Amino acid sequence: MPSSAKKLVNWTPTDIKADMLAKYPPKVARKRASQILVNEALGNETPEISANVRTIPGIITMRGCTYAGCKGVILGPTRDIVNITHGPIGCGFYSWLTRRNQTDASAEGAENFMPYCFSTDMQDQDIIFGGEKKLQAAIQEAYDLFHPKAIAIFATCPVGLIGDDIHAVARKMKAKFGDCNVFAFSCEGYKGVSQSAGHHIANNKIFSEVVGENDAEKPGEFKINLLGEYNIGGDGFEIDRILKKCGITNISTFSGNSTYDQFASAHKADLSAVMCHRSINYVADMLETKFGIPWIKVNFIGAKSTAKSLRKIAEYFGDPGLTARVEEVIAEEMPVVEEVIAEIRPRTEGKTAMLFVGGSRAHHYQDLFAEMGMKTLAAGYEFAHRDDYEGRHVIPNLKVDADSRNIEEIEVKADEQRYAPRKTSEEMAKLEAAGLKFKEYDGLIPDMDHQTLVIDDLNQYEAEKLVEIIKPDVFCAGIKEKFSIQKLGIPMKQLHSYDSGGPYAGFQGAVNFYHEIDRLVNSKVWSYMKAPWQENPELSATYVWE
C-alpha cells in the first residue's frame, strides 16, 4: 500500500499533543504535558522534559520494575552466576529466559546457569515468620548442587516489607563457603519508578563486590570494556567479531555474554566504551574515578555509527597500526552493507517510524532508520532520565526526589594501589582538542528533527492515538505493545527483544535490520485486513453469467 496515501496533512505536533491530553483528568493531563515535548528550536538550548518521574496509577504504562532492571537486565546475561530470586515464585518465573540474552558457553567445562530459574518460592509462613532461614537453606542447596563461583540474591517486594536481611545472609554464606562469592541486591519492585532503579542497584553492587577481584593480566592489545551491551539476539557476538577483526580486545561486556571473571577483571581495561547510556553511565564514571579508565560514548547500532565508534576507539589509542586496521575493516565490511542498502532503499525511502523503548535504543535505532531513508516522527524512552534526553550537562541540575533517594549511591575513591591514569592529562587534552569527547552524551533530543515528538513513559492510550493520527509505517516498542499496534494495521517491531530476529548491531546486524524492516513495511499481510465486501459494500454490479 503506498504509504503517502494515508499520511496526515492537517495535524501539527502541537495538535497531536493536545489531542492526546484531551481525555485525561486535569491532574493527569498536567503531568503528562510535561513529559510530552514538541521538539522545537529554542536558541541554543535543548528543551526540557520531565522524566524519571512516577507512573500514574491506572494509566497503562510500558514500564517494568526495579527487580526486572536488576535481575532481568543487568545480571540476567551473565552465565556463571547462580541467580536466586528471594520471594514468591512469580518474579523469578517471569525473568526466566524471557530477554533473549544469548551466551556462548561452548568452551570445555564452561558453566551456564542461564537456562535455570532459581527461587526460594516463599510461602505464607515465610512471609509471616520471615524468610531468612529459607533463603539460607536455598543458598546452601544451590552451593551443594552446583558449586558455582558466585551466588546472587535478589529481593522481591514482600522481602523488603517483612525486613529479611538478605545482605547479612549473603555475608554469612560467603564466609562459610570461602570459594563462592555471595552477594545480594535490595531490588524490591517498588523501590524506584522504573527498571532504571534496578540497573543502578545491580551495577553498584557488581562494582563494589566483583569489579577488581581478579588482578591477573589479560592477554591482548587495546583493551576495552564494553558497557551497556546486553547481547540481545546476538548483538554482542557481532560487536565482538568486529572488535576482534580490528585487533581490539574486549575484556568485559556489561553484561552481554558475560562471565563473573569479566566483571572481576574490568579494571584491567584501558578504555570503557558505553553503549546504553542510561543503564550504566555511572559505572563508567566509577571505573574512571577508582582505576583511571576514561570512557567514551559509542553506538554500534547502524553501519555508519559502528564505523564512527570504531574510529573513536582507534583515535583514543592513537596507534597507527590500529587506525589502519580499523580503516581496513570498515572498507571490507561496508560494501556488503551498501549493496543491501541500495537494494532496499527504494522500498523504504520516505517511510516513517516511531520508537518507544529502553533507555538508549530509541535513540540508537534512529541511525539505522536514517540509513534506510526513514524518518523518525516520534520517540521516547520507557525509563530514561533527563540526561538521556537532554544530554549529560543537565546532570548537576537533576532534582533528587524521594524516589531517587531510595537508591543507594556508593562513594568511590581512587584505589590506592591500582589507580593509574591511562593517559596523561596532556594526552587527554590533546585528544579532546582533536575532537574526541570523553564522558559526553548529548542525548536524544538534539538528534531528532524539529517538530517531532519526544515522549517520556508513553502509555497505551497515547500510543494508540499516535498511531491512529500519524499512521507511521513501523512502530517499535516491546511485547506488551506489539499486538494492539498491529491490530491497527501497523507493523510493530520489538526493540527490547527483537522478536525472533537479530543481531542488529554492527555491520552484519545493520544488514539484518534493513532486511527485517523491508519485510515489515512491505509485507502483504497489511493489505488483507478488509475483505472485498467490506471495501466495496454496495451491491451494484452483477456478474456476467447472471
The set of catalytic residues is 65, 68, 99, 199
- Segment interacting with another protein, rule: CB under 8 A, options 94-102, 178-186, 249-257, 317-325: 94-102
Q: Is residue 84 within 8 Å of residue 151, measured between CB atoms? A: yes
Residue 407 in the binding site for another protein (CB under 8 A): no
Closest CB 364 distance from ligand SF4, rounded Å = 8
HEC letters along 41-108: CECCECCCCCCCCCCCCCCCECCCCHHHHHHHHHHCCECCEEEEEECCHHHHHHCCCCCCECCCCCCC
Among 117, 370, 412, 428, binds another protein (CB under 8 A): 117
Helices marked H in 223-276 — which ranges?
A: 235-246, 260-265
Nearest CA to 159 among 95, 91, 103, 106?
Answer: 91
Count Cα neighbours of 234 within 13 Å in the Cβ-side half-sphere.
16
Task: Report phi then psi at 38, rounded to 5.
Answer: -90, 120
Stretch that binds ligand SF4, among 102-110, 257-265, 272-280, 331-339 (CB under 6 A): 272-280
Q: What is the DSSP letter of 115?
A: T
Question: Is 129 near another protein (CB under 8 A)?
Answer: no
If you ran DSSP here, which 8-state letter would residue 156 be given? -
Stretch that binds ligand SF4, among 87-95, 246-254, 260-268, 405-413 (CB under 6 A): 87-95
For residue 151, what are the β-bridge partners?
Answer: 82, 182
Instruction: Please state the closest distance from residue 486 (CB atom) to another protein, in A.
Output: 7
Task: Identify the H or E element spanning 251.
Answer: strand 249-255
What CA–CA distance (Å, rounded) separates 400 from 187?
19
Minimum Å gap between C-beta 464 and ligand SF4 is 22
- 291-294 contacts: CB < 8 A, separation 24 or more? 291/212, 291/267, 291/415, 291/418, 291/419, 291/420, 292/414, 292/419, 292/420, 292/421, 292/422, 293/225, 293/267, 293/269, 293/422, 294/422, 294/423, 294/428, 294/438, 294/439
Residue 190 in contact with another protein, rule: CB under 8 A: yes
99-136 in b/e form (b: 16+ CB < 10 A) is bbbbbeeeeeeebebbeebbbbbbeeebbeebbbebbb
Q: Interaction with ligand SF4 in 279-298: which residues (CB under 6 A)? A: 279
Question: Does position 32 bind ligand SF4 by CB under 6 A?
Answer: no
Q: Which is nearer to ligand SF4, 174 or 385 (CB)?
A: 385
Of the candidate spans 119-127, 204-212, 257-265, 413-421, the one that interacts with another protein by CB under 8 A turns out to be 119-127
Contact flag: residue 290 with another protein (CB under 8 A): no
- Using CB distances below 5 to 8 A depending on partner kind, what does residue 111 bind out of another protein, ligand SF4, none? another protein
Of these, 49, 206, 274, 276, which contacts ligand SF4 (CB under 6 A)?
Answer: 276
Using CB under 6 A as the binding rule, whether residue 230 contacts ligand SF4 is answered as yes
Question: In the bound complex, what is the minimum distance in angstroms from residue 231's beta carbon to another protein?
Answer: 16
Query: Applying CB under 6 A, does 278 fall inside the site for ligand SF4?
Result: yes
Decide: is 420 part of the binding site for another protein (CB under 8 A).
Answer: no
Position among 2, 5, 10, 25 found at the interface with another protein (CB under 8 A): 25
Cα first-last separation, the chain: 33
Using the minimum distance from each CB to another protein, give the nearer residue, 55 or 323: 55
Contacts of 407 (CB under 8 A, 6+ apart): 191, 192, 197, 200, 201
Residue from 461, 469, 515, 518 in contact with another protein (CB under 8 A) = 461
User: Pick from ligand SF4, another protein, none: which does 464 bind, CB < 5 to 8 A by kind?
Assistant: another protein
Q: Figure out which of the listed residues 39, 61, 156, 452 binds ligand SF4, where binding follows CB under 6 A.
A: 156
> Residue 100 region, left (φ>0) first, then alpha (ψ -120 to 50), else beta?
left
Q: Which one of 76, 256, 358, 391 is in contact with ligand SF4 (CB under 6 A)?
A: 358
Binding-site member from 1, 6, 15, 23 for another protein (CB under 8 A): 23
Residue 413, classed as helix, strand or coil, is coil
Q: Residue 276 touches which of another protein, ligand SF4, none (CB < 5 to 8 A by kind)?
A: ligand SF4
496 in contact with ligand SF4 (CB under 6 A): yes
C-alpha cell at 210: 566483583
Grid cell listed for 60: 497503562
Residue 202 and residue 278 in contact, taking contact as beta carbons nearer than 8 Å: no
Q: Does residue 529 belong to the site contacting another protein (CB under 8 A)?
A: yes
Select from 87, 358, 391, 491 the one that contacts another protein (CB under 8 A): 87
Whole-number Å distance between alpha carbons of 156 and 160: 7
Query: Would you list the DSSP string of 479-494?
Result: HHHHHHHHHTT--EEE
Q: Among 53, 91, 242, 337, which residue interacts with ligand SF4 (rule: CB under 6 A)?
A: 91
Cβ 254 to another protein shortest distance, Å: 22
Partner whose binding site includes residue 112, from another protein, ligand SF4, none (CB under 5 to 8 Å by kind): another protein
Reading the block at residue 2, the C-alpha cell is: 503506498
By the rule CB under 8 A, 135 interacts with another protein: yes
Query: Does residue 186 touch another protein according to CB under 8 A?
Result: no
Residues touching another protein, count (CB under 8 A)? 90
What residues numbered 36-55 form the site for another protein, per CB under 8 A? 54-55
Residues of this chain that interact with ligand SF4 (CB under 6 A) are 73, 87-91, 156-157, 230, 276, 278-279, 358-361, 496
